[in-house]
Amino acid sequence: MPDVLTTPAYRWVGHNPPRKESLEKVTGSAKYLDDLKFEGCLHGKTVRSTVPHGRIKKISFEPGVPWDEFTVVTARDIPGKNVVSLIELDQPFLADGLVRHMAEPVVLLAHPDKGMAEKAVKRVHIEYEELPAILTIEESLAGGNIQYGKDNIFKKYHIQKGDPESVWPKADVVIEGEYWTGPQEQLYIEPQGVVAVASPTGGVTVWGSMQCPFYVHKGLKPLFNLPDDRVRVIYTVTGGGFGGKEEYPTLPAGHAALLSWKAGGRPVKIVYDRMEDMWATTKRHPCKTRVKAAFTKDGKLLALKVDATMDGGAYVTLSTVVLSRGTLHAFGPYACDHVVIDTRAVFTNSPPYGAFRGFGAPQTIFPLELHLHRAACELGIEPHELRRRNLLHQGDRMATGQVMQEETGLEGLMWKAMDESKYLEKTKAYREHNRSSTRIKKGVALALFFHGAGFTGSGEVFLDSKAGLELTRDGAVRILSANTEIGQGSFTTHSQIVAEELRIPYEMVEVAVPDTAVVPNSGPTVASRTCMVVGELLRRAASDLKEVLVKSGALAGNGHTPSEFRAAAGKYLQRFGELKVYSKYKPPPDVSWDDKTYTGSAYAAYAWACYVADLEIDMATYQAQMKDFVAVQEVGRVIHPVIAAGQIEGGVAQAIGWALYEDVALKQGVMQNCQLTNYILPTTADTPPIRVFFYENPYQNGPFGAKGLGELPMDGPAPAIAAAVAFALGDRIIPRIPILPETILDAIS
Amino acid sequence: MDLLDLMKSSIRAPGRLVNLLTIDELKGIDVDTSGATIGALATLAEIADHPDLARMFPALALAAGHAATPQVRNVATIGGNILQRPRCWYFRMAQYPCLKKGGDTCFAMDGENKYHAIFENSLCAMVHPSNTAVALLALDAVVRTAGSGEIPIRKFFVTPDQDILRESALAEGELVTQLFIPATGARSHYLEFRERQSFDWALVSAAAAAELEGQTLNNARVVLGSVAPIPWRIDLGEIAATDEALDRAADEAVRGATPLAKNKYKVQLARTAIRRSLRELARATE
């Protein structure tokens, strides 16, 4: 049981009722996409490009295959627009004439026999006229080979506060460093999968494993030139997403629908196997960052300059917003008068990089925090003390101009984390140990950080989300929301919030399947927004629903028992037929954002944290083994402590993988090690005890005070681990992750 | 062998499969004073948990116990384990027509070769993936087959130079029935390094064996796994059981390594594996 440092005063919020979907999952009766049976279903396969950049000269179908039994789709068969509707309209569903990355979809095949479909993929031959490819950030920025806009740059951001240039010459110490974070594969357990039924008469229906049914809905309409009500997208039980099922499922959904459309409306199922999933789908953006920081000799941060470049891959997809979040987390929870942040996302001929838990923030938090550790070593100040001297406090201005309205409590979180991890004793003992032991070196280090919850800037306003509740026939309440359960517990936490507000038992709250024909668009299941933003919409809907029942006279206004509520609901339905109550997003007061100058309140709420990593390195094998991990955070009200702690533990484990194990081997821009035997993911035998502590500082605009926390644990572990490695190696910074044994060997030899 | 994986990856497409699991004669473990007779269908879990094997041939029990996961060890057999095909990712991906699949290139030479061979790697840089083969070779086992009869394990594994398409000396249709390990009184030990602590193949493994006499290891040998296309045996003869002598022997043993662009790290691991496995034997003498 995680440690929550307040006593909840509620009946459901702050308690741990059983998860809404756990019985089905534990007993194996939950139906994932591939468990669904459709009469006469065809199996769809994708023929993908094998060059990073080239003109398609010829597509030929090898003789000896009964091609007449196959449904074959190319770009020419697309009834509407061959473009994925996202931020920009640059990515086709199927390459038409030109391929811009390896593993790009070119031809689709479907056959009643799955084995036949699989074999036929290799019998389709695509000839290319190969064109010069851009495979690195440096090549992209070098000019010469321009494939996007005038300069291969998808997007740039600039944040400026004060004037760092004026500070460098007069500062006691100026420290510079360059950092690199590698790509990372989301590795949800269930691979991408969809089933589509599509025809000109029946419209398009898609079932699928996904985070955001309305993203898929938006993507399919122009593909078939269909209006809203002719496209329906239905979520199926989803085995993990981590961002990998945010924007990507639109592609296989479109592919399956195109095949079904051509096959006369027969259902078509596309399920990627692990190798295809790892080869072709999105990953975390790699990022190269330069950090320059000026200090007084006693460690006051005078100026900070961060310059970060992310590799976006061959299409814009979400790179501009990933970059935005990275930009807005690059300066960390520190008070500093002179800050410049310059960031850019660039084109390369890689499969597009995409959403992944943290969404750009881990990539910029890593260099800043590791740089502060480096600075502490160079200044001869303890790393925690250097942070303490520069922490952001209530009333301070962030680099964006946002004034901290609340006390962040970071210093308290830091002392708690240091206390729980015995940080001070360990730093002393480990220095002693490392002086005498040559075989094992020990390290301990911390990182401080924040994560903004909800969409960046005006994002939530543009989303204009809507969520609702309805009374069921038996007098219970059903949640109507497009937000999906992807393992993070959203069905459960939403139900707790509604039960609490309505003062009815948790068991009396149901959750409608997210189906675009049934639920309103409450926005995507991303950005640590589901509990905080959509949860608050549901709380308000619950409040309104109660008011409707009271006003109608069905319910007494001064409290009720569950059976009184049921009776009131029954009475209301008898009289009026149905009751659906919706609420729409309203921005919190005093929160405004200027997209042009990148100033204002980037996020309405921040979660704050301090993490401590403890590890040892075997100096003969150079393997770093995590020994202990302490995660202390303030996330507003914790709705479900067990689920919340599970999110933190899972995120920390995923970040340990990013920091120490997961090495995406790229060749021609695409992943080579597309197997779980050579893309090394830590197991529970590799992860340490992950000790989770919550502080609660209720956030007034979140449901019962909740803020977002899903992405937070991805941010802090990597810099804490890299700093602990540096500690173990005698203040030798390895500025890139993953830190593999061979990286350590190279660094010290 | 790992046929199902190969079929899933479209590397093999056999027209017919024969189920051996119904042949009881291929099962079981018998240990007596002459040695251990292990049926080809004995599971890795049975071997890892067998008290007599753990006592007389600890290297084998340890090697079996380190493989894969408990679930896999419950069904995987030792016959299949020593006949695993290479884990080389170019071999495992149908789109690479490598030497082992009848092609004319070893893609690992200039490719992703961090897991590849550091010895005997001029033609094909695969590494032999079997844990138990490493221990069996250190223990001078004999492979019994339905076919040629007996093959000393030193002659069982073949290098790419000898036959690029196969990793063993088994003839077409020849079946491994038993493994026999002679009781010699030698002490043995096995250890491995891998990237994660569970569910992983070894980056480098080592089985060491030697007879004891005072402060000397006699007939000392170390077999390294995952460093060459075959389990890589190094005979050290008579050697003083001191840390310095053993470390010198380890340095000497890896001197001939020919690492590729991305696997120099394995030389260090091999040296460490030899040192630690020999020191473990020496520790037993004190």
* CA torsion through residues B149, B151, B156, B161, sign: negative
Quote the minimal CA–CA distance from A539 to chain B in Å.
44
Would you say A325 and A144 are in contact if contact means Cβ atoms under 8 Å apart? no
Residue A1 pLDDT > 60? no
Mean pLDDT across the stretch B182-205? 95
Cα-only R_g, chain B? 18
Mean pLDDT across the stretch A286-296? 98
Domain-located, residue B16: no
DSSP A121-167: HTTEEEEEEE-----SHHHHHT-SS--STTTSEEEEEEEEES-HHHH
Q: Count H helices and E strands in chain B, helices first.
A: 11, 9
Would you say A656 and A611 are in contact if contact means Cβ atoms under 8 Å apart? no
Structure token digits, residue A233? 């997208």
A325 phi/psi in degrees, rounded to 5: -65, -40
Would you say A283 and A664 are in contact if contact means Cβ atoms under 8 Å apart? yes
| Mean pLDDT over each residue of chain B, to the nearest integer | 95
The pLDDT-based confidence of B10 (bands split at 50, 70, 90) is confident
Q: Residue B99's pLDDT is what?
A: 97
Q: What is the pLDDT of residues A507-524, one digit of tens each?
A: 999 999 999 999 999 999
Range of the domain at B198: 189-285
Mean pLDDT across the stretch A579-596? 92
Domains of chain A: 3-30+465-584 (3.30.365.10)
To test the contact with chain A by mutation, choose from B98, B192, B269, B277 the residue with the greatest count of A C-beta atoms within 10 A, namely: B269
Domain-located, residue B6: no
Q: From CA B269, how far away is CA A77, in angstroms rounded?
A: 55
Count CB atoms within 10 A of the CB of residue B22. Answer: 8
A677–B201: do the CB atoms touch at under 8 Å? yes
A289 phi/psi in degrees, rounded to 5: -135, 135
CA angle A222, A223, A225 (to 5 degrees): 50
Q: Count H helices and E strands in chain A, helices first.
A: 20, 29
A621–B94: do the CB atoms touch at under 8 Å? no
Q: Residue B147's pLDDT is what?
A: 81
Q: Residue A406's pLDDT is what?
A: 83
Residue with token string 């036929």 = A120
Q: What is the pLDDT of residues B128-185, one digit of tens each?
A: 999 999 999 999 999 999 987 999 999 999 999 999 999 999 998 899 999 999 999 9
Percentage of chain A with pLDDT > 70? 99
A667 phi/psi in degrees, rounded to 5: -140, 130
A122–B94: do the CB atoms touch at under 8 Å? yes
Q: Residue A683's pLDDT is what?
A: 94
Q: CA torsion A29→A32→A34→A36, rounded to 10°?
A: 60
Q: Residue B286's pLDDT is what?
A: 45
Nearest C-alpha neighbor of A658 from the set A181, A298, A132, A319: A181
Mean pLDDT across the stretch A88-106? 97
Count CB atoms within 10 A of the CB of residue A553. Answer: 12
A667 touches chain B (CB under 8 A): yes
| Mean pLDDT over each residue of chain A, to the nearest integer | 96
Q: From CA B21, how far away is CA A156, in angstroms rounded?
A: 63
Ranking A735-739, B90-94, B187-191 by mean pLDDT, the lowest is B90-94
Total count of domains within chain B: 1
CATH number for the domain harbouring residue B253 = 3.30.390.50
Mean pLDDT across the stretch A206-221? 98
Q: Residue A9's pLDDT is what?
A: 80
A chain contacts of residue B198, beta-carbon cutoff 8 Å: 683-686
Would you say A217 and A203 are in contact if contact means Cβ atoms under 8 Å apart? no
Q: What is the pLDDT of residues B33-86, one digit of tens each?
A: 999 999 999 999 999 999 999 999 999 999 999 999 999 999 999 999 999 999
A chain contacts of residue B89, beta-carbon cutoff 8 Å: 672-673, 675, 678
The pLDDT-based confidence of B284 (bands split at 50, 70, 90) is low
Mean pLDDT across the stretch A152-179? 98
Domain-located, residue B46: no
- Of the two residues B285 and A520, the one the predictor is more confident about is A520
Q: Residue A688's pLDDT is what?
A: 98
Quote the minimal CA–CA distance from B31 to chain A in Å.
33
A745–B268: do the CB atoms touch at under 8 Å? yes
B198–A684: do the CB atoms touch at under 8 Å? yes
The H or E element spanning position A42 is strand A42-48
Q: Residue B93's pLDDT is what?
A: 87
Residue A315 pLDDT > 50? yes
Q: From CA A354, how far away is CA A363, in angstroms rounded?
A: 13
| Sequence letter at residue A495 | S
The H or E element spanning position B220 is strand B216-225
Mean pLDDT across the stretch A327-339? 98
* Beta pairing, strands A440-453 & A605-618: antiparallel
CB-based contacts of A448, cutoff 8 Å, min separation 6: A332, A333, A369, A387, A391, A410, A413, A414, A609, A610, A716
Q: Which ranges of B178-224 would DSSP assign to H, the alpha helix?
A: none
Q: Residue A370's pLDDT is what?
A: 98
CB-based contacts of A120, cutoff 8 Å, min separation 6: A45, A65, A70, A109, A111
Q: From CA A491, how far away is CA A502, in angstroms rounded?
A: 16
Q: Residue B1's pLDDT is what?
A: 65
A chain contacts of residue B200, beta-carbon cutoff 8 Å: 677, 680
A chain contacts of residue B95, beta-carbon cutoff 8 Å: 50
- Of the two residues A71 and A589, the one the predictor is more confident about is A71
Q: Residue A8's pLDDT is what?
A: 55
Count CB atoms within 10 A of the CB of residue A231. Answer: 24
Q: What is the pLDDT of residues A438-472, one digit of tens each?
A: 999 999 999 999 999 999 999 999 999 999 999 99
Domain-located, residue B218: yes
Domain-located, residue B149: no
Q: From CA A222, how far away is CA A552, in angstroms rounded?
A: 44
Q: What is the pLDDT of residues A589-637, one digit of tens each?
A: 878 899 999 999 999 899 999 999 999 999 999 999 999 999 999 999 9
Percentage of chain B with pLDDT > 90? 91
DSSP A679-694: S----TTTS--EEEEE
ipTM over 0.85: yes
